[in-house]
Amino acid sequence: MDTLKALMVFMTTAENGSFSDAARKMGVSPAAVSQSIARLEQELEVRLFNRTTRQLTLTEDGRRFYAQCKGPVNNLDNAISQLKASQDEPAGHLRVSMPNSFGRRLILPLMGEFCQLYPKIRVFFGLDDHFSDLIEDGYDVGIRQGMMPDSRMMARHLADIPLYTVATPAYWDKHGRPQTPEELSTHDCINFQFPTSGRLSKWEFERNGERIPLDVSGTYTLNEIEAVAELARLGQGVAQLPGNEAIDAMRRGELEPVLLDFLSTERAIYLCFPHREHTAPRTRVFVDFIVERLANHSDVLAKWPA
């Protein structure tokens, strides 16, 4: 027996005083209501209603049982109503995972507007460069750079990211400006190590439409992309940086790009969320909002010269 359904039939019958009225309210037949009450009485081993040809009244046990059920059933009904209402008005807690620097530079400045539009959404941001498992760690949304999500993920493409090979003008004046990617073998290149896997990131270039991955070497290896950018700004070597990390320093003249004829744009930014039959409204509106705001953001596309 479906106990919850039987309880709802019982409560509706008690409140309407007849099988026929309860049946009309629930959209079923009077016989179905009568049978449900009979099964519930059999399950509880107690008579809940006194039945006559003229009226239907609760027994003493029925009145006591109704009083005990009324509070919990009403609470359940309210919970269901609130859940349905939340499908119309986005609300609740939203957990977002995103890269540290990208999130601080490009996502957090948008949140004032987002929270004005959706004041009932409460947002938690996990800012790290370790690319945590969204499902395992309970995130609703993840922003990922340079990688496609796994098969459990839905993804919205935000932008392609150009990769700039940069150093300070003083560094290039001292060591010379390479004319081909292969000439970087004579330079002190700052490597980036993926925090999760420990794997070094290959530098990427394009020649005649063909991708050229390149291993480089140098004095420094770091596992945080902002630190790579900072060492480059300090004149400690050559770095390959996504446009959103390099563009401000390039505009200020602190970093100078080279090898622009070999610029790679294969890296991309994706906004990912778990593949579910029903996406929560709070997730849906956040995804749509970020996609719209970043679609033509100059610091995301970061073209040079800017």
pLDDT in tens, 206-246: 988 888 899 999 999 998 888 999 999 999 999 999 887 88
Q: Is 176 helix (H, G, I), strand (E, B) or coil?
A: coil
113 and 57 both lie in a single domain: no
| pLDDT computed for residue 191 by the predictor | 95
Same domain, 211 and 286: no
Residue the block writes with tokens 């399950």: 43
Q: What is the DSSP letter of 204?
A: E
Q: Are residues 197 and 261 in the same domain?
A: yes
- Are 202 and 227 in a shared domain? yes
Question: pTM, whole model, 2 decimals?
Answer: 0.61
What confidence score (pLDDT) does residue 277 get? 62
The whole domain housing 151 covers: 92-159+268-301
Q: Based on the fold, state whether residues 44 and 133 are members of the same structural domain.
A: no
| Residue 127 shares a structural domain with residue 249 | no
Q: Is the domain of 209 the same as that of 245? A: yes
| 273 in the same domain as 155 | yes
In a domain, 279, yes or no: yes
Tell me whether residue 277 is exposed, middle or buried, using C-beta atoms within 10 angstroms of its C-beta: 0 to 12, 13 to 18, 19 or more: exposed
CATH number at residue 252: 3.40.190.10
**Is 60 exceeded by the pLDDT of residue 131?**
yes
Residues 277 and 262 in one domain: no
Is the residue at 306 inside a domain? no
Query: Tell me: the pLDDT tens digits for 89-110?
Result: 788 999 999 888 788 888 999 9
Residues 171 and 255 grouped into a single domain? yes
The string of pLDDT tens digits covering residues 21-46 is 888 888 888 889 889 999 988 888 89
Report which of 199, 178, 198, 201 is spatially closest to residue 188, judged by C-alpha positions.
Answer: 178
Question: Quick one: pLDDT at residue 147?
Answer: 55
Of the candidates 86, 107, 130, which is a domain's last residue? 86
* Residues 283 and 136 grouped into a single domain: yes
Instruction: Determine the pLDDT at residue 258.
Output: 96
Domain CATH for 30: 1.10.10.10
Q: How far apart are CA 268 and CA 193, in angstroms?
A: 18
> 108 with 60, same domain?
no
Six-digit token pair at 39? 């099964």
pLDDT at 69 exceeding the cut of 90? no
Least-confidence region, from 73-82, 125-134, 238-247: 73-82
Count of domains in the chain? 3
H helical segments located in the chain: 3-16, 19-26, 30-44, 60-86, 100-102, 111-117, 169-175, 225-233, 243-251, 281-294, 298-301
Does residue 28 lie in a domain region? yes
